[in-house]
Amino acid sequence: MSSQLQALLSEPLLLGLIWSIFALGVFISFRILSIADMSVEGVFPFAAVLAIWALKAGWNPFLALLLAIGAGMAAGALNGVMGRYLKINPLLAGIILMTALFSLTVVVSNGNISLEDGATTLFTPFEDLFSGISSVYWKNFCGDLLLLALVTMVLFVFVYWFFGTEIGAAIRASGKNEQLARAEGLNVHVYILLGLAISSGLVACAGALYGMRQSFATINLGKGTLIIGLATIFLGEIALPKMSFKAHLLSILIGGYLYWLIMSALELLPNYNANYRYLIQALFITLVMLVPTFKKNVVGLFRKGKEVSHA
């Protein structure tokens, strides 16, 4: 298999997993809490930079990951405080937080932070498990896949279980119908805060994993990532129209892989001009969002046609 095809098939799988974790976080704020949370564009790079900083400072890689997740959860909680208790418009609160985190990211990284060659990351022990494989490419791929698959599985199972508990159901109720939630005795502020903390924690986890795998991170990492998360969710919803919460979660994983497969394939086309990437992405997302409407209308047309012909 040519290295080109190799990269095309396998890299999206790994990227898809990392970005599925990111998208899971966005899913919680966007679909469950009905909040358009821009702070993810600040949490993601900050987490990446923080994880690398911790590794350079000698932290155990797993603890570095926990540190980043903790920072993300704190950011999410702060987002909740601003939106619910300080009564700042949630969209604005997210933007304010994103800007603040941008500064923190610059402070920690000075714009660009990187790991030395051969530094131990969370991926290293997993890659070493496969040292029997002669091809460095496949050794790394299998190791990375194992770690990412494990982490993704743990997180997705956690989210599925958590939102089926009483607290989880309370968070879902608070996000979907605040008025009724209050009438059913729920302290909506607290539940939304908790939901945002979990959402940002997941985004931070994705950021830390991304930074560790790439072994460097710059302050530009967050730019345009919310759209990637949303595109992943929408793509997944088309591929697997949700029947249940479980299916909805699964669809995020599918969406993640599909998104990166499509974007990678696009880049390989001759004459691909990266300047048009954002335009292509915008068109892509719009098309993706139109599919449900399109399906309804087209299917409706077919049904009508059938009735007429049998009249």
Which 100-119 residues touch another protein, going by CB under 8 A?
Answer: 102-103, 106, 109-112, 114-117
**8/289 with CB nearer another protein:** 8
Residue 90 is which amino acid?
P
The DSSP result for 245-286, as a single string, is HHHHHHHHHHHHHHHHHHHHHHHHSTT--GGGHHHHHHHHHH
Q: Tell me how far apart the terminal alpha carbons of the chain are, to the nearest angstrom.
A: 56
Does 292 contact another protein by CB under 8 A? Answer: no
Does 132 contact another protein by CB under 8 A? Answer: no
The DSSP symbol for 218 reads E
Does 279 contact another protein by CB under 8 A? Answer: no
Helix (H) or strand (E) holding 42: helix 40-56
**66/139 with CB nearer another protein:** 139
Q: Out of 63, 92, 136, 150, which residue is the one contacting another protein (CB under 8 A)?
A: 136
Does 263 contact another protein by CB under 8 A? Answer: yes
Does 214 contact another protein by CB under 8 A? Answer: yes
Please name every residue paired with 231 in a beta bridge, in sequence order, or none if there are none: none
Q: Out of 49, 64, 228, 253, which residue is the one contacting another protein (CB under 8 A)?
A: 228
Angle (CA) 121-125-126 rounded to 5° is: 105
Q: Out of 128, 149, 224, 279, which residue is the one contacting another protein (CB under 8 A)?
A: 224
Does 4 contact another protein by CB under 8 A? Answer: yes
Residue 190 is which amino acid?
V
Q: Out of 63, 149, 154, 239, which residue is the one contacting another protein (CB under 8 A)?
A: 239
What φ, ψ does residue 217 adopt, rounded to 5°? -150, 140
**287/309 with CB nearer another protein:** 287
Residues 159 and 72: their CA atoms lie apart, in Å, by 16
**Using CB under 8 A, which of the segments 59-67, 88-96, 182-190, 197-205 binds another protein?**
182-190
**Total of chain residues touching another protein, rule CB under 8 A:** 84
Does 5 contact another protein by CB under 8 A? Answer: yes
Q: Out of 104, 129, 277, 285, which residue is the one contacting another protein (CB under 8 A)?
A: 277
Minimum separation from the CB atom of position 269 to another protein (A): 6
Does 307 contact another protein by CB under 8 A? Answer: no
Residues 309 and 304: their CA atoms lie apart, in Å, by 9
Does 265 contact another protein by CB under 8 A? Answer: yes
**183/311 with CB nearer another protein:** 183
Residues 20 and 156: their CA atoms lie apart, in Å, by 9
- Residue 152 · residue 23 · CB < 8 Å: no
Q: What residues from 146 to 165 belong to the interface with another protein (CB under 8 A)?
A: 164-165
Residues 39 and 229: their CA atoms lie apart, in Å, by 13
Residues 217 and 229: their CA atoms lie apart, in Å, by 19
Q: In 177-220, which residue ranges form alpha helices assigned H by DSSP?
A: 178-183, 188-214
Q: Out of 89, 184, 290, 299, which residue is the one contacting another protein (CB under 8 A)?
A: 184
Minimum separation from the CB atom of position 262 to another protein (A): 5
Q: What residues from 68 to 107 belong to the interface with another protein (CB under 8 A)?
A: 102-103, 106
